[in-house]
């Protein structure tokens, strides 16, 4: 596998595949998150991860990916818990509570990560790469870990897709028919936290929500079925991650995260413009033909 030229080393290929798998899983999990309208919760979890990375390093003195990501996962869940607490006990509204959690936890995370070297932790260098994502530092071993997390997340979505779709579409009906709505919600948000953490090394805390949110929003333009949307969203996430890794590998100065997000945004722009039926051009063309979208059928009813 190892190429003597070193352009495509074994390591580079494995890292690219691992990160692409994370992109796929992020898109798949992101579909549930977006359909359940919990995109902001993902952002809160993402911004809280830095604190976890710093604390995991402080507590163990180790810098291996598994340790740091375990810390990030704990912090992401703590951030989500804080969100619930702020909302419930201070009667702060959803958007304001999310902004508050994002700001506070991110400020704390930046302070810790940037302060560590100054406080004498010389070997903490590299933690700041979790800010914007940097795949060059990843080893094949790291990539296997990320790939395993991706597989677990995709399998979990496949298992609860029916239940999650029901709750996302009509939570009241789900509750009335005996489904544990908050339990399923916790599962969805927990998976989002997991994927945000898995996306951290490649995309970074600032932008990783985009990897969870943009692919499903782009995928929605092409289909009216949840199942198709989930798979399509995964493929868009996969492609965005692969493009980001490939470009940053050939241009060593560029952080991976922004490139991944730009690639995902390009997929979104293309979907928004060119998708049949829901795309902008298709809708303009339909309007130009003087055919407003027909609602209702031969009943002769008019829509709302």
Binding residues (CB under 8 A) for another protein: these are 35, 159-160, 162-163, 165-166, 168-170, 172-173, 175-179, 220, 223-226, 229, 293-297, 299, 301-304
- State in angstroms the smallest separation of the CB of 294 from another protein: 8
Q: Which is nearer to another protein, 179 or 186 (CB)?
A: 179
Written as six digits, the tokens of 162 are 């029916």
At its nearest, how many Å lie between another protein and the CB of residue 79? 26
The residue count for the chain = 304
Query: In whole angstroms, what is the distance from residue 266 CA to residue 280 CA?
Result: 15
Angle at 99 between CA 181 and CA 266, to 5 degrees: 85
Which residue's CB is nearer to another protein, number 66 or number 159?
Answer: 159
Q: Which is nearer to another protein, 32 or 146 (CB)?
A: 32
Instruction: Judge contact between 101 and 79, C-beta under 8 A.
Output: yes
Q: Compute the least distance from the CB of residue 154 to another protein, in Å.
A: 16
For another protein, give the closer residue by CB, 86 or 187.
187
Q: Which is nearer to another protein, 25 or 174 (CB)?
A: 174
Which residues 6+ apart lie within 8 Å of 119 measured at CB? none
Shortest distance (Å) from residue 161 CB to another protein: 9
Whole-number minimum distance, CB 158 to another protein, in Å?
10
Residue 147 CB, shortest distance to another protein, in Å, is 25
State in angstroms the smallest separation of the CB of 20 from another protein.
Answer: 25
Q: Closer to another protein at the Cβ: 119 or 173?
A: 173
Residue number with CB closer to another protein (44 or 184): 184
Q: How far is the CB of 35 from another protein (least distance, A)?
A: 7
| Cβ burial, residue 235 (10 Å; 0-12/13-18/19+) | middle
Residue closer to another protein, measured from CB, 165 or 209: 165
């Amino acid at each position: 596998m190892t190429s003597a030229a070193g352009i495509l080393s074994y390591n580079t290929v494995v890292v690219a595949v691992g990160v692409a798998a994370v992109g796929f899983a992020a898109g798949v999990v992101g579909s549930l998150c977006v359909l359940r309208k919990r995109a902001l919760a993902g952002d809160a979890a993402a911004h809280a991860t830095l604190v976890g990375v710093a604390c995991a390093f402080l507590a163990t003195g180790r810098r291996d990916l598994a340790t740091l990501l375990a810390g990030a996962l704990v912090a992401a869940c703590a951030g989500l818990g804080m969100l619930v607490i702020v909302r419930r006990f201070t009667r702060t509204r959803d958007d304001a509570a999310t902004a508050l959690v994002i700001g506070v936890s991110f400020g704390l995370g930046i302070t810790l990560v940037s302060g560590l070297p100054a406080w004498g932790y010389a070997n903490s260098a590299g933690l700041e790469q979790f800010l914007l994502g940097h795949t060059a530092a990843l080893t094949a071993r790291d990539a296997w870990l990320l790939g395993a997390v991706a597989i677990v997340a995709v399998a979990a979505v496949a298992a609860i897709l029916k239940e999650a779709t029901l709750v996302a579409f009509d939570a009241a009906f789900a509750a009335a028919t005996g489904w544990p709505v908050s339990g399923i919600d916790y599962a969805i948000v927990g998976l989002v936290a997991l994927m945000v953490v898995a996306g951290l090394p490649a995309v970074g805390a600032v932008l990783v929500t985009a990897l969870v949110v943009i692919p499903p929003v782009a995928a929605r333009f092409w289909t009216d079925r949840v199942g198709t949307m989930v798979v399509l969203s995964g493929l868009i996430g996969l492609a965005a991650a692969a493009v980001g890794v490939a470009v940053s590998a050939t241009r060593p100065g560029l952080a991976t995260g922004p490139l991944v997000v730009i690639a995902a945004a390009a997929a979104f722009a293309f979907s928004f413009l060119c998708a049949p039926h829901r795309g902008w051009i298709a809708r303009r063309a339909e309007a130009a033909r003087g055919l407003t979208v027909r609602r209702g059928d031969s009943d002769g009813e008019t829509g709302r």
